[in-house]
């Protein structure tokens, strides 16, 4: 017996190792046992809880990077939406223009607005057709929605257009139901609103009447829609009439140029009349 | 002594948790260092083979519960504690600080190698990887553990072992 105690005290490290290894062996053997599985599943729960906490901390720490990543993704998506939106709008605009051109009584040349400068008074647009495509000065520029302006300068491949919303622009117009004539000008204030001048108080004008170009115009065809009456204000001799323009200049991308149909002899005669001061009310200095 | 035991046990459990949730995510070349092995080896060197074996056993249970392979972890860590105990530095030792440092590194190295070998053999018992792969895995894991052991020695264990 004393020898046995001596053996145990001398080799207790080995015995301890044997004991622990034995327990470990049993644990390996009974790893699939219900009670051990239950213990391990609780360990898994603890592990999952801790992992979740750590993930949340990690997420919080990486929030800035995540935000930057999302911002970049948003930018890319926004760029994509803009590109696709433009393509859709262009397609719709081209389709409408094509349909209008097929039904139009005169030959229309399609064009794209490549540049525009809009400020309080000096609004100018440049379109991608010019001399090469048969564009000439004083041709009317329009869309299916209505008159856009007139060509004022032509180069080989481009043309400069003075839009309706230009302080120097004027055009002879007529109302559709009361057949009242007047001169349309833009006063440089609201982009969508132009004014019809020289309409005598004796005329009858109504709200919502549609306005289109008149036969008196020196550049535009008769019957190009311009807009509709939204306000009729009687003044001393004439009415001051506000017209809501049919064309939305802010989203203008495609236009058409109407080939000249106005007789140059008529234009010359009108100019002579203006120079001699005969014409005082129905024409202006810029040949409406 | 009792106070030390409580503190060491608590620290061991904390290290097991850190190993499972933080260190095991620092995967370098497919393996990661083992800070629990370092601590088991340190306790074995400081307190002796019996204590080292017991701490190894406890660490194995804790790690096993957290990792899901309780038997394998218990066996591996117990043997790690036992082998590191061969480098035990008694309190009345006249060993120089250099010798103590060498004992510490040898203890950690042996525990780490034996632990990794056992673990690899037991985990892959049915699908043993190639010898080259095993050598690579064990070698890199031991190297990483030794690098951490150097930092641990410089920052924490040096003071304790030298004053022991």
pLDDT digits (tens, 9 = 90+) for B21-64: 778 777 777 788 899 999 999 999 999 999 999 999 999 999 98
In a mutagenesis test of the B interface, which of A8, A15, A16 is the best target, namely the one with the most B β-carbons within 10 Å? A16
Measured between beta carbons, the chain A residues lying within 8 angstroms of B43 are none
DSSP A93-154: HHHHHHHHHHH-SS-EEEEEEEEEE--SS--EEEES--GGGT--TT-EEEETTEEEEEEEEE
**pLDDT beyond 60 at A74:** yes
Contacts of A51 in chain B (CB under 8 A): 21
* Lowest mean per-residue pLDDT among B8-22, B77-91, B130-144: B130-144
Residue B131 has pLDDT above 80, yes or no: no
pLDDT at A285: 40
The answer to whether A20 faces chain B, any CB pair under 8 Å, is yes
Which of B56, B65, B74 is facing A40, going by the closest CB pair? Answer: B65
Mean pLDDT of chain A: 79
What pLDDT sits at residue A125? Answer: 86
- Average pLDDT value over all residues in chain B: 86
- Number of neighbours of residue B26 by Cβ within 10 angstroms: 11
Q: What distance in Å separates the CA atoms of residue A124 and residue A117, rounded to the nearest whole number?
A: 5
Structure tokens at A212: 């289109």
* Strand partners for A143: A146
Lowest pLDDT segment from A77-86, A208-217, A234-243, B65-74: A77-86
Distance of residue A29 Cα from the nearest chain B Cα, in angstroms = 8
The more confidently predicted of residues A46 and B88 is B88
User: For residue B43, what pLDDT is reported?
Assistant: 93
Q: Is A118 left (phi over 0), alpha (psi -120 to 50) or beta?
A: beta
Confidence label for A73 from pLDDT (cuts 50, 70 and 90): confident
Of the pLDDT bands very low, low, confident and very high (cuts 50, 70, 90), residue B143 is very high
* Higher-pLDDT residue of A43, A137: A137
pLDDT beyond 50 at A148 = yes
The answer to whether residue B24 neighbours chain A at the CB level (below 8 Å) is no
Q: What local confidence, expressed as pLDDT, does residue A281 receive?
A: 40
With a threshold of 0.95, does the pTM exceed it?
Answer: no
Q: Which two tokens stand for residue B154?
A: 């410089």
- pLDDT score at A7: 67
Looking at per-residue pLDDT, the higher value among A176 and A262 belongs to A176
- Taking an 8 Å cut-off on Cβ atoms, the answer to whether A36 and B70 are in contact is yes
Of A201, A157, A172, nearest to A282 (Cα)?
Answer: A172
Alpha-carbon gap: A15 to the closest alpha carbon of chain B (Å): 9
Quick one: pLDDT band at residue A263, thresholds 50, 70, 90? low
Instruction: Please give the pLDDT value at position B129.
Output: 57
Does B33 reach chain A within 8 Å, measured CB to CB? no
Question: Model confidence at A279, in pLDDT bands (50, 70, 90)?
Answer: very low
| pLDDT for residue B128 | 53
Q: How many helices (H) and strands (E) does chain A have?
A: 5, 12
At residue A284 the predicted structure's pLDDT band, cuts being 50, 70 and 90, is very low
Which of A12, A20, A31 has its CB closest to that of B70?
A: A31
Contacts of A55 in chain B (CB under 8 A): none
CB-based contact, A50 to chain B, within 8 Å: yes
- pLDDT over threshold 50, residue A117: yes
**pLDDT score, position A101:** 66
Contact between B71 and A28 using a beta-carbon 8 Å cutoff: yes
Better-predicted residue by pLDDT, A268 or B28: B28
Confidence of residue B122 (pLDDT cuts 50, 70, 90): confident
Q: Which of A131, A191, A189, A138 is nearest to A161 (CA)?
A: A138
Average pLDDT over residues A58-67: 81
pLDDT over threshold 70, residue B76? yes
How many whole angstroms from its chain centre is CA A124? 19
For B86-108, the pLDDT digits (tens) are 999 988 888 888 899 999 999 99
* Residue A286 banded pLDDT, cuts 50, 70, 90: very low
Highest mean predicted confidence (pLDDT) among A40-54, A78-92, B58-72: B58-72
CA angle, A278 then A240 then A182, to 5°? 40
Q: Between chains, do B75 and A36 touch, taking CB under 8 Å as contact?
A: no
pLDDT at A280: 41
Q: Within an 8 Å CB–CB cutoff, is residue A28 touching chain B?
A: yes
Q: Which residues pair with A234 in a beta bridge?
A: A239
* Confidence label for A62 from pLDDT (cuts 50, 70 and 90): confident
A61 inside 8 A of chain B by CB: no
Q: Is the pLDDT of residue A144 over 50?
A: yes
What's the start-to-end Cα distance of chain A, in Å? Answer: 132
């Amino acid at each position: 017996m004393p020898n046995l105690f001596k053996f145990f005290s001398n080799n207790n490290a080995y015995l301890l190792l044997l004991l622990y290894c034995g327990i470990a062996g049993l644990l390996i053997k009974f790893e699939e046992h219900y009670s051990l599985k239950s213990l391990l599943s609780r360990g898994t729960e603890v592990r999952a809880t801790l992992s979740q906490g750590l993930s949340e901390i990690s997420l919080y720490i990486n929030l800035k990077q995540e935000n930057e990543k999302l911002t970049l993704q948003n930018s890319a998506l926004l760029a994509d939406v803009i590109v696709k939106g433009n393509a859709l709008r262009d397609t719709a605009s081209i389709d409408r223009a094509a349909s209008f051109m097929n039904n139009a009584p005169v030959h229309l040349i399609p064009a794209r607005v490549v540049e525009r400068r809009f400020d309080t008074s000096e609004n100018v647009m440049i379109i991608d057709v010019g001399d090469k495509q048969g564009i000439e000065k004083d041709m009317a520029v329009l869309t299916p929605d209505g008159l856009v302006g007139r060509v004022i300068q032509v180069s080989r491949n481009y043309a400069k257009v003075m839009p309706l919303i230009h302080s120097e622009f004027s055009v002879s117009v007529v109302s559709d139901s009361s057949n009242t004539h007047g001169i349309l000008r833009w006063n440089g204030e609201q982009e969508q609103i132009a004014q019809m001048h020289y309409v005598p108080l004796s005329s009858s004008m109504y709200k919502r009447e549609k306005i289109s170009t008149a036969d008196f115009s020196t550049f535009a065809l008769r019957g190009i829609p311009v807009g509709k009456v939204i306000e009729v204000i009687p003044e001393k001799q004439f009415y001051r009439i506000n017209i809501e323009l049919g064309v939305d200049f802010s989203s203008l991308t495609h236009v058409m140029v109407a080939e000249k149909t106005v007789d140059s002899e008529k234009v010359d005669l009108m100019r002579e009349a203006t120079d001699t001061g005969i014409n005082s009310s129905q024409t202006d200095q810029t040949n409406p | 002594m009792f106070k030390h035991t409580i503190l060491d046990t608590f620290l061991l459990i904390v290290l097991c948790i850190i190993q499972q949730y933080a260190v095991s995510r620092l995967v370098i070349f497919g393996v990661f260092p083992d800070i629990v092995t370092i601590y088991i080896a340190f306790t074995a060197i400081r307190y002796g083979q019996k204590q080292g074996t017991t701490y190894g056993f406890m660490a194995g249970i804790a790690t096993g519960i957290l990792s899901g392979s309780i038997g394998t972890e218990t066996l591996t860590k117990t043997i790690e504690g036992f082998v590191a105990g061969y480098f035990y530095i008694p309190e009345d030792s006249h060993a120089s600080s250099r010798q103590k440092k060498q004992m510490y590194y040898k203890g950690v190295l042996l525990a780490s190698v034996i632990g990794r070998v056992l673990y690899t053999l037991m985990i892959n018992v049915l699908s043993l990887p190639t010898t080259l792969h095993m050598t690579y895995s064990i070698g890199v894991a031991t190297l990483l553990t030794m690098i951490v052991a150097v930092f641990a020695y410089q920052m924490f264990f040096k003071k304790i072992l030298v004053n022991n």
